[in-house]
Amino acid sequence: MDANEAIRRFRQRDDGYTWEGVDRLAYKQESAAPFRGITRQTLFQRSDLAGELRYFEIAPRGHSTLERHEHTHAVLILRGEGRCLVGDAVHAIRAHDLVTVPPQTWHQFRAGEEPLGFLCMVDALRDRPELPDDAALAELHAQPPVAAFLAEE
Ligand code: MN
C-alpha cells in the first residue's frame, strides 16, 4: 500500500510495534553492509514532507551498520535497551531517550538482551551511507571504549 494514501493507520495488536499496511522490510537492500537482526518500517513518507519517519527494530544482541553520511539522524528509542556509538562516544540507551547523530559522524546501534526499537527521522532526500575503510577502522579502534564496543559479538 502507498504510504501516502492512509490518513490513519492502526497499530497491529500482536506486539504493538507493527502497523497495518506498513511493510516490515529488511534493514538494507545491499548485502555488503554488515548488520545483524534488524528490520525497517517506513511509517511516514510523503511528497509534501521534507522528512521521513522510520521504525527500526534490532533483535537481542543484533546491531545496525557502522556508517556515516551527510544527513542527520534524529532518534527516539521506543522500546528495549542497548548502546550506541556516536562519534567517539558510547552511550547507554533505553526507552524514551533521544539520540542525535550529526553529519559525517560514525554511528552504530546495538541491542542488549531484549529487542531495541527506535524511531528515526531523516531527510527524504539524503546521501548514501559510507562504510569505514581500513584507515577509518584503525582510527576508531585506537580509542579503547570504541574498540571494546566494536569488538562485541
Ligand atoms: Mn545512518
- Of 50, 59, 65, nearest to 24 by C-alpha is 59
What is the model's pLDDT at position 79?
96
pTM of the entire structure?
A: 0.90
65 CA → ligand 1 middle, Å: 8
In this predicted model, what pLDDT tens digit does every residue of 71-126 receive, in sequence order? 999 999 999 999 999 999 999 999 999 999 999 999 999 999 999 999 999 999 99
Contact criterion met (CB below 8 Å) for 124 and 133: no
Three-class SS of 6-26: CCCCCECCCCCCCECCCCCEE
107 CA → ligand 1 middle, Å: 7
104 CA → ligand 1 middle, Å: 10
Start-to-end C-alpha separation, the chain: 37
- Of 67, 57, 60, 140, nearest to 106 by C-alpha is 67
Q: Which one of 66, 93, 120, 140 is the catalytic residue?
A: 120
> Is 120 a known active-site residue?
yes
